[in-house]
């Protein structure tokens, strides 16, 4: 499912226009980005939790040459599915 398919599905399910559904999705995405940028988590009971975790610097290998390289530390986004979501796909 791509973004346009999601917009159509939400509009149909919620009984709203596609334009309103697109605004809602865009607002959710933008709010999620801003919240995660502040290293705060978003918890949607029954759906899941979005959070930011710091990945430490580490040593890796270049697969072509086998040379060791340094991989810098960085923040990564994590998603942990909630119980209701996990049960719905089981």
By three-state DSSP, how is residue 79 classified?
strand
Same-domain pairing of 50 and 84:
yes
Same-domain pairing of 86 and 50:
yes
Same-domain pairing of 34 and 56:
no
Q: What is the dihedral of CA 64, 68, 70, 75, to 10 degrees?
A: 60
What is the extent of the structural domain holding 66? Answer: 40-90
Mean pLDDT of the chain: 96
**pLDDT tens, residue by residue, 53-66:** 999 999 999 999 99
Question: Which residues lie closer than 8 Å to 9 by C-beta, 6 or more apart?
Answer: 1
Q: Are 5 and 21 in contact (CB under 8 A)?
A: no
The count of residues in the chain is: 90
> What confidence tier does 42 reach under pLDDT thresholds 50, 70, 90?
very high
């Amino acid at each position: 499912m791509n973004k346009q398919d999601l917009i159509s599905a939400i509009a149909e399910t919620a009984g709203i226009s596609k334009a309103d559904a697109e605004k809602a999705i865009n607002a959710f995405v933008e709010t999620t980005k801003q919240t995660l940028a502040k290293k705060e988590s978003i918890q949607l009971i029954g759906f899941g939790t979005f959070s930011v975790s710091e990945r430490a610097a580490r040593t890796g290998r270049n697969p072509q040459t086998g040379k060791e390289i340094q991989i810098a530390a960085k923040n990564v986004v994590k998603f942990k599915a909630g119980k209701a979501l996990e049960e719905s796909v089981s």
